[in-house]
A and B are shown apart, each in its own frame.
Chain A
Amino acid sequence: MSDGTGPVSTALASASLVGADTAPEEARPGPAGRPAVGAALQPTLAELSRPGRGGGKVPHPPQDALAGIPTSALRRNPLALPELNEPEVARHFVNLSHLNYSVDSGFYPLGSCTMKFNPKLNEWAARLSGFATLHPLAPDELAQGSLELMHELQETLAEISGMAAVTLQPAAGAQGELTGILMIRAYHEARGDGDRNEVIVPDSSHGTNPATASMAGFRTVTVPSAADGGVDLDALRAALGPRTAAVMLTNPSTLGLFERRIVELLDAVHEAGALAYMDGANMNAVLGRFRPGQAGFDVMHFNLHKTFSTPHGGGGPGAGPVACNERLAAFLPAPLVVQDPDGRFRLERPGERHTAIGRVRAYQGNVGVLVRAFTYIRAHGASGLREISDDAVLAANYLRQRVGEGYELPYPGPCKHEFVASGRVLRQETGVRTLDVAKRLIDHGFHPPTIYFPLIVDECLLIEPTETESVETLDLFADALLAIAREARDDPERVKAAPTTAPVRRLDEASAARRPELRWQPMTGAEAPCPT
């Protein structure tokens, strides 16, 4: 077993050897101690700490370094942090990394998250010294390389979205949503139409949509989906009115379906005097096939960490650029990157565009993430971007058909880059829930798909394979899901007990929430002055 693999990451290989009907047997460490390789649980940094370890990284300061600071401003108790040396630190984090499942170790079909391969070139590029060490307040003349890259990225995202202008500032999709909705708010207010206090979202929407509407000061109105999974047009028309500021739509939807009535829907929104926001979380399905701005959306965000392959980092960072049409461009947060007639690039100056909604983030945004996305987009070009979506959609439809051999498919195809399946019948027949199916997938070496979302599908599985997984992997995953469905009928308790090959079994989440332990016990401060 090579470095960086544990039971979690090697289970896929095992599954292919032993056949998908049999999940690998338990590989957890026994009570006698930890195995030579594998994923053993780790002590915390505090437990590893021994006073006197570590040091040697920076020179010692002169004794009077803090002489100018009044005692009242100084720390009351000495700082307590773990004391470790570098070998222990490296070993600790490497061993912890073994406890993680990741795209680099296996198939990660989380619907709505686009867990595609994160190219290594992107990581290299973001670490180039000129990009990595540039101070965010450096004068424009020192930042021409980054500014050119950002300017090109703004224009590229405008082209991909069919929009007029782009801000790169938002740090994540949810912040992009907030940016877009605050721009819509400013637009209505600028027209003396500020009584619009409602935002309409479909019942299949991401939770961030209604949460964003609330943060921006709007009341959320939820409209139901039609039987085909699209927005119920009549219900939408009934909800629209002089109070409607915006309609937020995810397209393709969180059911993995393209909104077939998009033209009528956008007409209805605009006839009511409202604007249309597109949650671009699912752009991976329609690159080069559908441009939201061209179709009539007024504003949208991208998730660079989904569509454009920047890593998810265990939760972040991402980046959520916002693109908008001419109607809203004046309200984009400042500063944008602009090019002067002499060809030089610069940030907009304070107050240069007085209609801007203000900043949503300090400095210029998650620029390191932008470098990665720029690299990815340039590597693919126009033809490659379209091929990404073609392959993502082809793979999703292929996998959907295979999964349909053993699970309900509540909506007709074709799907886009992801699809929903339901374990409703399986649960009725066997008592095995979708949660159990998901946990059993872990024993087969796979990360489970998104489950119980969207909320409108019973026992929902939302599966997104992405374009970077081979047909062999798709088949192995489908085989595993079908095997679990059979196992649920033959031996339901075995499925309910899963996972059994992961570093830990299921967790007691209820008591974690009842009596939250959010930190280790306070350590004792190191009394000794800085060693000399």
Chain B
Amino acid sequence: MAYGPHTADDRGRMRAALGIDSVDVLFDDIPAAVRASRLDLPEPVPELELAGRLQELASRNRTDLASFLGAGVYHHYVPPVVDQMLLRGEFYTAYTPYQPEISQGTLQTIFEYQSLLAELTGLDVVSASHYDGATATAEAALMAVRATRRDRILVSRAIHRHYLDVTRTYFTGGRLVIDELPTLADGTTDLAALEVALADSERPVAGVLLGQPNAFGLLEPMAEASRLAHAAGALFIAVVEPVSLAVLATPADYGADIAAGEGQPLGIAAQYGGPYLGILATTTVLMRQIPGRLVGETRDLDGRRAFVMTLRAREQDIRRDKAASNICTNQALCALAATVYLATIGPHGLRDVASLGAARARELEYALTEAGAGRLHDAPYLNEFAIRVPDAQAVHGRLLERGVLAGLPLARWYPDDPDLRDALLVCATEVTTSDEIALFAGALGEVLA
């Protein structure tokens, strides 16, 4: 076996100690009727050949295109120090820090992660991580239901479609209700409709959920939405993108009770879907409602500062069927990536990353407009926006042939919306180059001609 240490002698010694001739004896407790036949799988592959197969598979993914695809996952520059720290076996081969005396490394990094995200969001209580932005959003919605003892959530139509789908799935158990809020022509959430939905006293609302930026990359009137939610006794949940928080108003600035989001932009590679980092943050008022692990500061017997998992009575291994969530394994190593990334990039660096993305996106907007594809919406955006092109799916395909991954055809997410049939959602970040923008604009001009 590839990684087993046992020699024939070792196995013989263990069998002799147990007084058995064959290891098969140890499986006699499996009833004959359910013993497996031999697995129909290939034989072991030597490491050299396996490495070749993996390289071949990886090379069949096409990652050489000029990409303007974001839609919740963003390509950023990640200083190599991040991955080198992640590759320390002391971090990545450790388990959940249930033995704090020999887990202070993991525990302190989680405490630092919680603190850094508290600085970014303005909210004081940050969970040690959830699976991704979608599940963090679903957990945020469930928190609002528990905290208000109401069963209805209002979700903006301009929320990431996968986040909505996952929240729906998480809501099936409790037979909870999700009502979607329409958007205006400018692409932002219709606050008049929000006001009407909140006024329905027969169906009180637990939480109002908006994205900032929203799924079209646009900036929502968060302060006003938050005020309306609170006036109706509902909680306000912000779905945020963490890099943008270097420059945009924080969830605390506009009075959000809960913030959820995808931490992938903080030093984590795209990896075709994960592992990523579900960010979940809240106020101290709701501290005991938050699901997931929390690390707190304490002292050891000699009075030295140390860190430990705390408020454990919310968790499944203690509370079983009364737990706040069933989450156990989380995304701790991804939280470490975010911690090293933020420590390395610093406050000025993160602001530069966010601002450069905005500048590049502006450059992209001008170039695409020149090429004949203007913006679809009027509301302000940070680094992602939708453009209008006739038959966007087809244009997207023709641009692929020209080496451009032209974002996301919004019809993939909103198949029933005629207004979005002709829309591509495109983004830029600090890694987007002027050459790539010129390539996109030139190719688009050809395709539209």
Contacts and interface: CB of A to CB of B under 8 A. Distances in A.
B348 A531 contact: yes
A315 B293 contact: yes
Given A61-B358, A519-B111, A137 B69 contact: yes
Contacts of B104: 41, 96, 99-100, 503-504
Contacts, number: 713
A142 B61 contact: yes
B26 A362 contact: no
B429 to A, nearest CB: 10
Given A142-B65, A363-B274, A73 B26 contact: no
A83 B90 CA distance: 25
Contact of A263 (B33, B109, B302): B33
Interface string B129-172: 10111110000000000000000000000001011011011101
Interface string A504-532: 11111101110011111011011000110
A8 B87 CA distance: 19
Contact of B125 (A263, A386, A518): A518
A92 interface: yes
Contact of B81 (A4, A86, A104): A86
Contact of B380 (A70, A313, A381, A448): A70
Contact of A508 (B39, B270, B300): B300
Contacts of A414: 25-26, 28-29
Interface residues of A, number: 212
Interface stretch (B1-9, B190-198, B200-208, B228-236): B1-9
Nearest to A210: B321
B273 interface: yes
A100 B99 CA distance: 10
Nearest to A56: B349
A363 B339 CA distance: 24
B344 interface: yes
B21 interface: no
A79 B325 contact: no
A384 B1 contact: yes
A366 B81 contact: no
Interface residues of B, number: 199
Contacts of A142: 61-63, 65, 400, 405
B71 interface: yes
Interface string A66-94: 10111011111011111110100110111
B101 to A, nearest CB: 4
Given A41-B104, A65-B358, A174-B316, A518 B350 contact: no
A315 B334 contact: no
B97 A314 contact: yes
Interface stretch (B113-121, B179-187, B441-449): B113-121
A499 interface: yes
B329 A317 contact: yes
Nearest to A124: B51
B256 interface: no
A327 B197 CA distance: 40
B83 interface: yes
Contact of B15 (A90, A262, A394): A394
B124 A518 contact: yes
Interface of A is mostly: loop
A73 to B, nearest CB: 5
B90 A100 contact: yes
A397 B6 CA distance: 15
A361 B134 contact: yes
Interface string B64-99: 010101011101010101011101111111111101
Interface string B301-318: 110111010111101111
Contact of B91 (A59, A97, A368): A97
Interface in B1-56: 1-6, 10-11, 13-15, 17-18, 23, 25-31, 33-36, 38-45, 47, 50-51, 53-56
B434 interface: no
Nearest to B330: A316
A442 interface: yes
B294 interface: yes
B300 A136 contact: no
B14 A394 contact: yes
A391 B327 contact: no
Given A378-B50, A394-B15, A290 B34 contact: yes
A295 interface: yes
A401 B18 contact: yes
Given A137-B71, A290-B30, A314-B96, A368 B275 contact: yes
Contacts of B380: 68-70, 73
Given A75-B248, A177-B326, A257-B29, A160 B39 contact: yes
Contacts of A58: 77, 345, 349, 352-353, 356, 430
Contacts of B339: 45
B82 to A, nearest CB: 9
A137 B73 contact: yes
Contacts of B133: 362
A177 B329 CA distance: 12
B347 A83 contact: yes
B258 interface: no
Nearest to A7: B102
B43 A383 contact: yes
Nearest to A471: B10
A469 interface: yes
Interface centre among A84, A142, A212 (most CB of B within 10 A): A142
Contacts of B350: 79, 81
A291 interface: yes
A59 B329 contact: no
Interface stretch (A17-25, A214-222, A423-431, A483-491): A214-222
B128 interface: yes
A42 B111 CA distance: 13
Nearest to B163: A362
A177 B323 CA distance: 15
B57 A149 contact: yes
Interface in B270-322: 270-276, 287, 293-302, 304-306, 308, 310-313, 315-322
A398 B11 CA distance: 10
**The 8 nearest A-B residue pairs measured at CB:** A104-B89, A313-B333, A130-B58, A315-B332, A217-B173, A363-B273, A145-B60, A317-B275
Given A102-B91, A103-B94, A123-B87, 11 more contacts: A9-B90, A61-B352, A89-B340, A98-B90, A101-B102, A262-B34, A314-B106, A362-B72, A382-B38, A447-B95, A471-B10
17 contacts: A69-B380, A94-B88, A100-B103, A135-B73, A210-B320, A217-B173, A258-B27, A315-B106, A357-B172, A365-B273, A393-B23, A394-B26, A398-B17, A502-B101, A505-B101, A508-B300, A530-B355
